[in-house]
Structure 1
Amino acid sequence: MIVDVFLQGTNWNYNNVGVNLLIEITQRLYKMPLAQIIEEHVCLPMEFKQTGWCKEQNDKLVWINEQYANDQGTEANLFMSARELAYWGYVHLNRGVIDGKQILAEKIFKQTTSIISPADLKHELPRNGFFFGLYKMSRVLQQS
């Protein structure tokens, strides 16, 4: 259940409500756990072998006394090697094009890097994209 803390556009509060809702919608749409969706549609095509959800500690992970109930993609236990994280950033810089081939749809990158905050949001509140805080960038864009 989603409960409004304040009227839309009047304040800002970090939480995972939107992320959790997106996970639920995605799992219902694909009829499989998010971890499996990411594995099939992202990790396998990109040949990621050091990325995935883990619920148990192992020597290859930086583990800070976390405890997770599952490895199905519903918790914050997605682990990724530094090399694959850097490559993921490279994929974003190229909007999904690697070696001249569009491996992930360009519209994904346009949507996830666009500001979606209400235009009339108070100036002192951060502007956000799909998943990325774009507070400083939004001020630069407003000044140009």
Structure 2
Amino acid sequence: MKLKKKVDNQFSPVELHVRNTSNTVDCSGAGVMVIRNDRIVSEAYWGKHSKASDARPIQEDSQFHVASVRKSYIGFAAAYAIHNGYIHSIDDEIAKYLPNINTDLFAKTTIRHLLTHTHGLHTAEGNIIREFPPGQSWAYRDISIEILTQLIHHSTGKTVSEILKEQVFNSLSFHETGWYDEQSEKLVEVIREPADRFWSMDKGEDGNKKNMYVSTRELAYWGYLHLKQGCIDGKQVVAKEIIQQATSLQSPVLINKDLPQNGFLWFVKDLPAKKTEIGELVPKGSFQILGYTSVAVLVVPKHDIVAVRMFNSFGSPPGYDYLADIRAFGDTVMKCV
């Protein structure tokens, strides 16, 4: 997959915003890309793969650790499993597909709850506990991803990575997207505090680990696949229904209307919500996902836009408000339209 490039100054404020963020967070390099009307209209890279003096410059094939952005790929695998009948319904209880789990603890917890962060499960001192009844509130906890990937594997007989390679990566010739156990020259080093409690040295290429790296261009193309609802160059590469289900509002009706809203792990713009990560100017029907490295992809169907930013900074330095910054990123994109 390769889009034509026609860069102009219209989206230069987006690049400037990303450059300003790269000067705020602790990173050694960054990238930005905007696609509009089937053309790459902005693309820039700066810095190096690490802080070493002889480090490789950031470039088109540089692959950044995408952290929680990987969840959009897991959401795709879940939508694939439902579309193809491996999972009967998003509202099925997870115990139906994972019969050996604690049925008392997981009672009434559905696949919808896992996909929308409304499951109410948490881990404490190595044990799974319940924070709130399923569907009653919202909390961002990785335990849901562990359960969801197990459920997908158990129901389909395939790993998340196998599903993605079969359905997307091979057909679109994605060679700069994947899960990696070993460092290589194309992988950008993650700048982090050695004792950061959120960092994981996960290994494994089955798609459920926190070791996913993607180039700026291929993350933008991933967003573009969703923008076009699976139709690329006139060919329906992925079933339209898979994309529609993954990127439409799936959150249950919550008592607190200001909590974030999700599709299949994507954050979606629907009703007004004070705690959303999506900018105020970004229109309804848009969707976005953000990682702990401040990597993000925003898709705005109303204006035929995909915007991606890439950094190699893990976590937030003192004084950096990542939610305010990611909202400003989206609002900057919209001010360029």
TM-score interval for Structure 1 and Structure 2 normalised by the shorter chain: 0.7 to 0.9
Could you tell me how far 1:27 is from its partner in structure 2?
Answer: 1.6
Q: Which has the higher contact order (CA 8 A, sep 6+)?
A: 2
Task: Check 1:132–1:43 CA distance in 2 against 1; reply closer, same or farther (3 A cut).
Answer: same
Q: Kindly indicate whether residue 216 of structure 2 is the aligned counterpart of residue 82 of structure 1.
A: yes
Q: Deviations over 1:11-48 (max 9, x none)?
A: 21101233222211222233243322322222101111
1:95 equivalent to 2:229? Answer yes
Unmatched segments (≥5 aa) in structure 1: none
Q: How does 1:123-134 map to 2 (within 5 A)?
A: 123-134=257-268
Between stretches 106-115 and 57-66, larger displacement belongs to 57-66
TM-score w.r.t. length of structure 1: 0.83
Deviates more, 1:33-42 or 1:43-52: 33-42
Matched, 1:44 2:177: no
Q: Which residue of 2 aligns with 1:22?
A: 148
What CA deviation, in whole Å up to 9, does each residue of 1:36-62 have, x standing for no partner? 232222210111111111012222112
Pair 11,90 (structure 1): closer, same or farther in 2 beyond 3 Å: same
Identity of aligned residues (%): 35
Query: How large is the Cα RMSD of the aligned pairs?
Result: 2.2
Q: How many residues align?
A: 140
On the 8 A contact 2:138/2:259 being kept in 1, the answer is yes
- Cα–Cα, structure 1 residues 17 and 68, in superposed 2: closer, same or farther, change >3 Å? closer
| 1:68/1:120 CA distance change after superposition, 3 Å | closer
Change over 3 Å in CA distance of 1:137–1:26 after alignment to 2: same
Query: How far off is 1:79 after superposition?
Result: 1.4
> What amino acid is the match of 1:69?
K
The answer to whether 1:5 aligns with 2:131 is yes
The range that moved more, 31-40 or 51-60, is 31-40
- 2:271 matched to 1:138? yes
Residues 45/111 of structure 1: CA separation in 2 closer, same or farther (3 Å cut): same
Match of 2:161 among 30, 35, 39: 35
- Residues 110 and 33 from structure 1, CA distance in 2 versus in 1: closer, same or farther, beyond 3 angstroms? closer
- C-alpha displacement at 1:130, in angstroms? 1.2
Q: Distance in 1 between matches of 2:250 and 2:240?
A: 17
- 1:7, distance to aligned residue in structure 2 (A): 1.6
Q: TM-score, normalised by structure 2?
A: 0.38
Cα deviations across residues 86-112 of structure 1 (Å, max 9, x unaligned)? 111111111000111110011111111
Once the two structures are overlaid, the 10-residue window that deviates more, 113-122 or 80-89, is 113-122
Question: Aligned AA for 1:109?
Answer: I
**Any gaps of 5 or more consecutive residues in structure 2?**
1-100, 107-128, 193-199, 273-282, 285-337
- Measure, in 1, the Cα distance between the counterparts of 2:262 and 2:160: 23
Q: Secondary structure at the match of 1:80?
A: strand
Work out which of the two has the higher radius of gyration on C-alpha atoms and give 1 or 2: 2
Is contact 1:55–1:67 with CA below 8 Å preserved after alignment? no
Instruction: State the SS of the aligned residue for 1:129.
Output: coil
Cα offsets for 1:118-141 (capped at 9, x unmatched): 22431222222211122x532276
Query: SS of 2:263's equivalent?
Result: coil
Query: What is the rounded CA distance, in whole Å, between the counterparts of 1:24 and 1:8 in structure 2?
Result: 19
